[in-house]
Homo-oligomer: A and B are copies of this chain.
Amino acid sequence: MSSEPPSAVADLEAAGREMHGWIAGLYPICRSITGEGLRTTLRAIQANIPLEIREVPSGQRVLDWTVPDEWNIRDAWVANRAGRRVIDFRRSNLHVVSYSVPVRRRVSLTELKKHLFTLPEHPDWIPYRTSYYEPTWGFCASQRVALSLSEPEYDVVIDSTLAPGSLSYGEWLLPGAIGEEVLISCHVCHPSLANDNLSGIAVATRLARALAAAPRRYSYRFLFLPGTIGSITWLALNAALIGRIRHGLVVACVGDPGPLRYKKSRRGDAEIDRAASHVLTSSGRPHELLDFSPYGYDERQYCSPGFDLPVGSLTRTPHGRYPEYHTSADDLGLVRPESLADSLDAYLRVVQVLEGNGRYLNTSPRGEPQLGRRGLYRAMGGMPDPGLAQMAMLWVLNWSDGKHDLLEIAEKASLPFEAVRSAAEALEKSGLLLPAPEPSPASAVS
């Protein structure tokens, strides 16, 4: 096992500002689950990390699904009699229902309204809507704009194409000392929505760079995929790799000012669940631990019962729990540099726990070993409190019976993981601790 935790990001504040700036550049691109906007975004990630971009042809069967035709859009508008664009894709790509079929005709106001989506409770916001698997067309607009439409007819144009092509996704395997993998998965299919999920793209990319800069025990697989169909495609095409996944996190909505939230894997007590819970709980700051539910991001696929992978999701305010969710108000103002930095820090801390965790065997388990003659215990006795470092050593020695990992010991002892891990390192150096045999990956995953 590597004894060095991955180095944290030296200047978190600068990293937060850098991520926010990068998000601002990606914000205007019209992404969807396929198409050029998605490819452009993957290439932007590639400028930061050596991502491989995969293309899976339309029509390919992937598990219960089929890769859809590729969608591209050049322009779209609703124009009045005077030719003025009253709804204009060039002003916001949310104005067009994603995957709208091409249309170019004059329609009555009545018919237009059947294809027009608004948010009456937020009259200035444009909703985000999709129709990936049902061929139709539609526009989204603010309630204020919709109410201002008063002419009997409008010209509607959606200059889109929906045709065989391919689904694109990005993948990078950052190799570690062992072949077992940590999966970091991030959806990249949303157009101009900043928190959902440009924030996730930025944090995952920055995390990849940080992990690449330090020794690693685990290998890390980064996936940048369109939601649902992307993870289903990856799972369908990579059956041989799935058994390597020891831990996983789905990265989403990590830029808003809300507290951190960890949604557990379906297993509920996987090591990733314990690691993320420990990081959030020991932070001493407000946070929330949520049981698995089969709704949300791509953990729905990784945690489907036929896979049941140990994949949780570490977010700030997740889907459907902030009013700006899936609206034009999920913009660059909702995402804060300091929230991005704090999320990155939490991901790094979880990784540190995963990297440093392990089960050990006390080589002197009968009675306490005499720490003093090994220089591990202060000479003067009688004081009421042995100090944090010595308490951590006593806890590690007492529970290193090969059955309890350091994370469990930290929880039992109410000590920070790093204190317990440092104690284990000191004890290992002195010969009082040996790594316990690892359980086989098969049994760990089963």
| Chain B residue with the shortest CB-CB distance to A366 | B306
Mark A243-276 against chain B: 1 for CB-CB distance below 8 A, else 0.
0000000000000000000000010000000000
Interface positions, chain A 372-390, Cβ under 8 Å from B, are 372-373, 379-386
Cα of A379 to Cα of B135 in the assembled complex, Å: 9
CB distance from A436 to the nearest CB of B (A): 12
| Cβ–Cβ contact A399 & B305, under 8 A | yes
**A391 contacts partner chain B, Cβ-Cβ < 8 Å:** yes
| Cβ–Cβ contact A398 & B129, under 8 A | no
Q: How many copies make up the complex?
A: 3
**In the complex, chain B residues whose CB is within 8 Å of the CB of A364:** 63-64, 306
Cα of A176 to Cα of B334 in the assembled complex, Å: 60
**A85 contacts partner chain B, Cβ-Cβ < 8 Å:** no
Cα of A303 to Cα of B304 in the assembled complex, Å: 39
| Cβ–Cβ contact A65 & B367, under 8 A | yes
Pick the contact of A293: B326, B397, B413 (CB < 8 A). B413
**In the complex, chain B residues whose CB is within 8 Å of the CB of A319:** 384
CB distance from A196 to the nearest CB of B (A): 10
Tell which of A304, A372, A412 has the most Cβ of chain B within 10 Å: A304
Answer whether A373 and B320 are a contact pair too, CB < 8 Å, given A293-B413, A306-B366, A365-B305: no
| Cβ–Cβ contact B64 & A294, under 8 A | no
Interface size on A, residues (CB 8 A): 63
| Chain B residue with the shortest CB-CB distance to A399 | B305
**A contact residues vs B (CB 8 Å cutoff):** 63-65, 97-98, 127-134, 136, 228, 231-232, 235-236, 266, 291, 293-295, 300-301, 303-307, 319-320, 325-326, 362, 364-370, 372-373, 379-386, 391, 394-395, 397-401, 412-413
| Cβ–Cβ contact A266 & B134, under 8 A | no
CB distance from A48 to the nearest CB of B (A): 28
| Cβ–Cβ contact A382 & B129, under 8 A | yes
Cα of A372 to Cα of B381 in the assembled complex, Å: 65
**In the complex, chain B residues whose CB is within 8 Å of the CB of A395:** 293-294
CB distance from A367 to the nearest CB of B (A): 4
Cα of A232 to Cα of B132 in the assembled complex, Å: 65
**In the complex, chain B residues whose CB is within 8 Å of the CB of A380:** 97, 129-131, 134
| Cβ–Cβ contact B64 & A397, under 8 A | no
| Cβ–Cβ contact B326 & A235, under 8 A | no
Cα of A124 to Cα of B353 in the assembled complex, Å: 46
| Cβ–Cβ contact B304 & A366, under 8 A | yes
Cα of A390 to Cα of B367 in the assembled complex, Å: 48
CB distance from A234 to the nearest CB of B (A): 10
**In the complex, chain B residues whose CB is within 8 Å of the CB of A303:** 398
CB distance from A292 to the nearest CB of B (A): 8
| Cβ–Cβ contact A379 & B131, under 8 A | yes
| Chain B residue with the shortest CB-CB distance to A393 | B294
**In the complex, chain B residues whose CB is within 8 Å of the CB of A294:** 368, 394-395, 397-399
29 pairs of residues in contact across A and B, judged by CB atoms under 8 Å: A63-B364, A63-B366, A65-B367, A97-B380, A98-B382, A127-B382, A129-B380, A129-B381, A129-B382, A130-B381, A131-B379, A133-B372, A133-B379, A134-B379, A136-B379, A232-B367, A291-B412, A295-B386, A300-B368, A301-B367, A304-B366, A304-B367, A304-B398, A306-B367, A307-B366, A319-B384, A320-B384, A325-B384, A326-B382
| Chain B residue with the shortest CB-CB distance to A227 | B381
CB distance from A165 to the nearest CB of B (A): 20
| Cβ–Cβ contact B305 & A401, under 8 A | yes
Cα of A368 to Cα of B295 in the assembled complex, Å: 11
**In the complex, chain B residues whose CB is within 8 Å of the CB of A401:** 305
